[in-house]
């Protein structure tokens, strides 16, 4: 008997979006016996193999859509082409029942975390959702790392976030997790992505699918830190246009404690080798008050079934103030022994404003993945901070010193992107694209000290810096499917022109150009029983930070920062392999192995030197240097146990070995460390009303060049309940129950030993309430002001 295949592509009849994870099957006409079945992939494509000649009833079934059934005669291979499925929601107490996706999944080079399907994070923030993402960690300061590497890039809806570090932390900590559709982890990006980092990409995809009608929700969150965020969101749409307006107000009051102790070493004047030259200790306690908010607006316009236009903008104003009380002690033994001690009181006032906007246009030539898209975006932001500092010296004698600093930072950036996708067959696609971006930063510091009755400018600590980065990229990728086997090679060309100019006690100017080529290769295979295998290789080149490419020495109150004109780009070769298996009744198991080798990695080294310009004694400094070579290899495991819809448990573990070797001050330096991290999440629903969740996290010590970051750990728990047909929701959450979270670092440079401890009020109790009015199916549209590309998530590149 002839063995044939039956294939096709499923799309939504109302908006032509491709339908993923939809069940299709064949029933024998004579007795309605099930013969074959499968589900559509991420591009809506399905294929049933080993189908004998005969007559069958072909059916398509998915919750949220009308069941399709048609008679089909098979006398050879059958390509059904495009199959349009009509929406047909099932209503239960005005709540739309939709098909659940797996919590974690593999999609080509991406590991997907479907945040919308995870009830344990719906009351939290985007930062909480990132903590649950495989391989991702967020520390107490809001810094994000992937597999222990901090140089990870954050993208939003397939576009680089282009936010400075503090703005990005604000975005992650304020956006509710309920506004996120999924998080994509791309640890080994293909040439399709303009990643400048060797740490991979985390792409945050916000909710984009929306039904007709309107929806209004508002609520407030309160924590004992204290931290209060009242917010309101309004959504309106019809079959052509939709928009979302979101606004919030943010009040936060934080306290933290920082304790540092350092020992400086230098060649002894007696010729006996290294000896202690200085001991330094600092203790600071600070409080910080922030008042701000955000206004977000997003609009999607479906011109017709083949054209889509989106626009988005956001505006964040913030005012801040704070104070610090501290003590400082320093004792120097040689060459000129002295001892000094003082207490310090400082206060600051700060303002911050950020504006971001963009537009996206998608044109489909057909519904087979042939399309072109254009994206233009830009933003501007500025900071201003004025600080008053008083020092009350008790050693070497009593006197009062006053210092005023006035810092201003401005940034303006814009970018243009074009992406073109064309299938050359039903199994293959070519993608090409180009991008240009400019980033212009201006950083000004005015440092004044009291002399007599007036303040005079300190030229050694004052500066005016300007940094301009122009970058142009071109890429091409080819993807082809051989049954369930997919191969995707790619190549990206990157050109960068970096210019910096610093005016201070002397003028510094530098210009650097870089031209890099990035080849990539990704392979994947999926069996009929849903075993997923992948193997990938990429070569990435990361240019030095423009602000580090200088010989300028920046002085602050007690230390120095030194640039490095000799920095060269970092070259990283990465190989990764993974296996994942999903079960309907159990959950999923995933294993990943990875190896990354880097030449000329850039790391900051802390050391000590004698300075005769400003201090007149030995002082510690920080400088970026190229580490000769480094490598990291490890194994990840991700297990989800989900025996029923009312309980799930997730365990994530990452075990890795890190090694570096370099030459520093004519000495060969190398070190190796085995590190690991564990995270356990539990969620259950009691009496079909009360949700209970708990999570625990532990990360072992990790290493850097001459440094070690101590372990961190915490336990969280919470409750959530819905009332009045989900018109009202309330939650209670306790973060870091035992107040364990802190940030401890040891520096073990032969010339400089240093310990630092950073502690803040990480334990807090949060309560919140949400009121909703309108159709429930619109709720997943809340907070779309940062959506970049609108409905483009996954639609701008059919097989991307």
**Per-residue pLDDT, 213:** 54
Confidence tier at 781 by pLDDT (50, 70, 90): very low
Residues 6 or more apart whose Cβ sits within 8 Å of residue 3: 49, 50, 51, 52
pLDDT of residue 247: 87
* pLDDT at res. 269: 81
**3-class secondary structure for 48-60?**
EEEEECEEEEEEE
Q: Which residues partner with 696 through β-bridges?
A: 680, 715
What's the pLDDT score for residue 662?
85
The per-residue pLDDT for 658 is 93
Torsion over CA of 272, 273, 277 and 281, rounded to 10 degrees? -120
pLDDT of 372 reads 95
Both tokens of 739, joined, read: 């107040």
- What average pLDDT score do residues 464-476 get? 95
Q: What is the pLDDT of residue 66?
A: 79
pLDDT band at residue 422 under the 50/70/90 scheme? very high
What mean pLDDT is predicted for residues 31-54? 81
SS3 131: helix
Supply the pTM of this predicted model.
0.73
How far apart are alpha carbons 384 and 382 in whole angstroms? 7
Percent of the chain with pLDDT over 70: 86
Closest C-alpha among 203, 185, 182, 158 to residue 636: 185
Pairing of strands 153-156, 201-206: parallel
Per residue in 365-421, pLDDT (tens digit) is 987 889 999 999 999 989 899 999 999 999 888 888 999 999 999 999 999 999 999
Q: Which two tokens stand for residue 703?
A: 């290493």
Angle at 417 between CA 412 and CA 421, to 5 degrees: 165
Range of lowest pLDDT (136-150, 274-288, 521-535, 752-766)? 136-150
Q: What is the overall mean pLDDT for the chain? A: 82
pLDDT at 622 over 70: yes
The whole-number pLDDT of residue 117 equals: 74
Per-residue pLDDT at 218 = 80
Name the most confidently modeled range: 125-139, 229-243, 784-798: 229-243
Top pLDDT among 161 and 604 is at 604
Q: Which of 320-334, 548-562, 686-700 has the lowest mean pLDDT?
A: 686-700
- Asked whether residue 675 carries a pLDDT value surpassing 90, the answer given is yes
Q: What is the pLDDT of residues 577-591, one digit of tens each?
A: 999 887 756 777 889
Segment among 232-236, 276-280, 337-341, 710-714 with least mean pLDDT: 232-236
Q: Do 18 and 65 contact (CB within 8 A), yes or no?
A: no
pLDDT at 616 over 70: yes
- Higher-confidence position of 756 and 200: 756
* Selected residue with higher pLDDT from 164 and 544: 544
Q: Give residue-wise pLDDT tens across range 153-167.
A: 888 777 676 555 555
Quote the pLDDT of residue 328.
93
Take residue 45 and report the two structure tokens written for it.
Answer: 């494509």
Contact 98, 23 (CB under 8 A): no
Residues 6 or more apart in contact with residue 411 via CB below 8 angstroms:
164, 379, 380, 381, 382, 439, 440, 441, 442
Q: Report the range of poorest mean pLDDT among 82-91, 366-375, 433-442, 587-596.
A: 82-91
Share of the chain residues as helix, strand and coil, in percent rounded to the nearest 5:
5, 70, 25
Tokens of 453: 């009755």
**Which tokens in the block code for residue 329?**
């002690």
Q: pLDDT tens digits, residue range 203-238?
A: 888 764 433 456 777 888 788 878 888 888 787 877
Res 30 pLDDT > 90: no
pLDDT score for 677? 92
CA angle, 770 as apex, 767 and 776 as ends, to 5°?
A: 145
Of the two residues 689 and 787, the one the predictor is more confident about is 689
Contacts of 385 (CB under 8 A, 6+ apart): 348, 349, 350, 405, 406, 407
pLDDT in tens, 58-74: 888 776 677 788 888 88
Reference 683, options 642, 638, 723; nearest CA is: 642
Beta pairing, strands 68-74 & 712-723: unpaired
* Span 458-468, pLDDT tens digits: 999 999 999 99
Distance CA(521)–CA(538), nearest Å, equals: 6
Q: Locate tokens 């709720």: which residue? A: 779
Q: pLDDT-derived band of residue 469, with 50, 70 and 90 as boundaries?
A: very high
Residue 458 in tokens: 């300190």
- With a cut of 50, say whether residue 782 has pLDDT above it: no
Q: Which residues pair with 656 in a beta bridge?
A: 634, 675
Mean pLDDT, range 278-302, rounded to an integer? 89
Stretch 637-664: mean pLDDT, rounded?
84
Average pLDDT (521-535) is 84
- Per the CB < 8 A criterion, the answer to whether 535 and 594 are in contact is no
pLDDT of residue 375: 92
Phi, psi of 789, rounded to the nearest 5 degrees:
100, 0
For 493-524, how does the pLDDT look when each residue is reduced to its tens digit (9 = 90+)? 999 999 999 999 988 899 999 999 999 999 98
- Work out whether strand 23-28 and strand 34-39 pair parallel, antiparallel, or are unpaired: antiparallel
724-757 pLDDT per residue, tens:
866 787 888 888 899 888 878 898 888 788 888 8
Q: What DSSP element (H or E) covers 127? A: helix 126-131
Pairing of strands 560-562, 617-644: parallel
Q: What does DSSP assign to residue 167? A: H
- Is pLDDT larger for residue 247 or for residue 126? 247
- Residue 227's nearest CA partner among 253, 248, 247 is 253
Task: Give the H or E element holding residue 174.
Answer: helix 165-174
pLDDT in the model for residue 577: 93
- What residues contact residue 559 under an 8 Å CB cut-off, 6+ apart? 619, 620, 621, 622
Report the pLDDT value the prediction gives residue 584, as an integer from 0 to 100.
58
Instruction: State the residue for tokens 């006035």.
Output: 406
Instruction: Check residue 101 and give its pLDDT.
Output: 59
Q: How far is Cα 545 from Cα 516, in angstroms, rounded to an integer?
A: 15
**DSSP output for 230-283:** EEEEEEEE-SSEEEEEEEEEEEEEEEEEEEEEEEEEEE-TTSSSEEEEEEEEEE
Q: Is the pLDDT of residue 472 over 90?
A: yes
Helical residues (DSSP H) of 533-619, grouped into ranges: none
Two tokens, residue 643: 């025996």
Where do the DSSP E strands lie in 452-506? 454-457, 463-482, 485-503
Euclidean distance between CA atoms 206 and 181, whole angstroms = 5
| pLDDT for position 703 | 87
Annotate 542-583 with DSSP letters as a single string. Answer: EPPPGGGSS--EEE-SS-EEE--TT---EEEEEEEEEEEEE-
Nearest to 206 by CA among 243, 237, 238, 177: 177
pLDDT band at 793 (very low <50, low <70, confident <90, very high): very low
What are the strands, taking DSSP E only, across 29-114?
34-39, 45-52, 54-61, 68-74, 78-85, 91-92, 95-96, 104-107, 110-113
């Amino acid at each position: 008997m002839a063995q044939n295949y039956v294939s096709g592509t499923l799309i939504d009849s109302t908006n032509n979006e491709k339908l993923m994870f939809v069940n299709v099957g064949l029933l024998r006409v004579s007795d309605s016996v099930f013969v074959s079945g499968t589900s559509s992939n991420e591009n809506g494509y399905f294929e049933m193999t080993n189908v004998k000649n005969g007559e069958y009833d072909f059916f398509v079934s998915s919750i949220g859509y009308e069941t399709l059934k048609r008679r089909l005669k098979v006398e050879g291979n059958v390509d059904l082409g495009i199959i349009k499925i009509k929406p047909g929601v099932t209503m239960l107490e005005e709540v739309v029942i939709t098909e659940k996706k797996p919590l974690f999944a593999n999609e080509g080079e991406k590991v997907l975390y479907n945040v919308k399907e995870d009830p344990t994070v719906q009351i939290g923030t985007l930062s909480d959702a990132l903590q649950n993402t495989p391989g991702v960690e967020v520390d107490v300061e809001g810094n994000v790392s992937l597999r222990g590497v901090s140089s990870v890039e954050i993208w939003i809806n397939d576009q680089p976030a282009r936010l400075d570090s503090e703005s990005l932390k604000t975005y992650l900590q304020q956006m509710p997790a309920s506004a996120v559709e999924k998080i994509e982890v791309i640890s080994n990006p293909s040439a399709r992505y303009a990643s400048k980092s060797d740490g991979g990409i985390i792409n945050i995809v916000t909710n984009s699918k929306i039904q007709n009608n309107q929806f209004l929700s508002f609520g407030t969150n309160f924590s004992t830190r204290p931290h209060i965020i009242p917010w309101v969101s309004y959504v309106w749409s019809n079959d052509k246009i939709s928009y979302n307006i979101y606004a919030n107000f943010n009040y936060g009051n934080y306290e933290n404690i920082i304790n540092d102790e350092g020992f400086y070493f230098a060649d002894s004047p007696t010729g006996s080798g290294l000896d202690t030259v200085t001991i330094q200790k600092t203790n600071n306690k600070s409080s910080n008050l922030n008042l701000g908010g955000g206004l977000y607006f997003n609009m999607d316009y479906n011109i017709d079934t083949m054209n889509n236009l989106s626009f988005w903008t956001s505006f964040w104003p913030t005012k801040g103030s704070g104070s610090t009380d501290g003590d400082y002690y320093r004792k120097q033994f040689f060459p000129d022994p002295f001892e000094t001690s003082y207490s310090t009181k400082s206060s600051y006032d700060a303002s911050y404003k950020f504006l971001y906007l963009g537009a996206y246009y998608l044109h489909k030539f057909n519904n087979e993945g042939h399309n072109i898209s254009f994206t233009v975006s830009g933003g501007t932001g500025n900071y201003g901070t004025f600080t008053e500092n008083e020092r009350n010296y008790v050693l070497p004698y009593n006197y009062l010193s006053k210092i005023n600093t006035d810092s201003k930072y401005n940034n303006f950036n814009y970018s243009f992107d074009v992406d073109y996708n064309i299938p050359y067959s039903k199994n293959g696609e070519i993608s090409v694209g180009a991008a240009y971006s400019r980033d212009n930063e201006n950083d000004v510091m005015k440092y004044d000290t009291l002399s007599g009755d007036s303040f005079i400018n300190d030229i050694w600590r004052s500066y005016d810096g300007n940094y301009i980065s122009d970058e142009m990229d071109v890429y091409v990728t080819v993807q082809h499917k051989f049954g369930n086997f997919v191969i995707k090679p790619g190549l990206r060309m990157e050109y960068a022109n970096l210019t910096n100019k610093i005016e201070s006690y002397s003028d510094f100017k530098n210009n650097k150009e870089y031209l890099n080529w990035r080849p990539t290769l990704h392979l994947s295979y999926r069996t009929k029983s849903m075993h997923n295998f992948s193997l990938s290789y990429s070569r990435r080149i990361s240019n030095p930070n423009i602000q580090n490419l200088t010989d300028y020495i920046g002085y602050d109150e007690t230390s120095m920062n030194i640039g490095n004109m000799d920095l060269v780009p970092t070259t990283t070769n990465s190989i990764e392999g993974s296996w994942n298996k999903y079960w309907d009744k159990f959950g999923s198991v995933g294993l990943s192995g990875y190896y990354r080798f880097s030449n000329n990695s850039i790391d900051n080294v802390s050391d000590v030197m004698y300075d005769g310009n400003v201090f007149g004694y030995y002082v510690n400094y920080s400088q970026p240097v190229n580490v000769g070579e480094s490598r990291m290899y490890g194994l990840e495991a991700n297990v989800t146990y989900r025996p029923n819809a009312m309980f799930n448990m997730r365990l994530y573990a990452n075990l890795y070995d890190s090694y570096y070797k370099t030459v520093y001050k004519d000495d060969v330096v190398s070190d190796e460390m085995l590190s690991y991290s564990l995270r356990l999440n539990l969620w259950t629903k009691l009496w079909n009303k009360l949700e209970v969740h708990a999570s625990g996290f532990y990360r072992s010590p990790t290493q850097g060049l001459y440094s070690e970051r101590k372990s961190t750990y915490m336990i969280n728990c919470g409750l959530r309940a819905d009332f009045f047909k989900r018109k009202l929701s309330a939650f209670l959450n306790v973060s870091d129950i035992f107040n364990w979270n802190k940030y401890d670092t040891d520096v073990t440079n032969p010339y400089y030993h240093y310990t630092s401890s950073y502690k803040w009020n990480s334990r807090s109790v949060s309560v919140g309430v949400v009121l909703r009015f309108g159709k429930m199916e619109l709720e997943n549209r809340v907070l779309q002001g940062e959506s970049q590309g609108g409905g483009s998530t996954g639609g701008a590149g059919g097989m991307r």
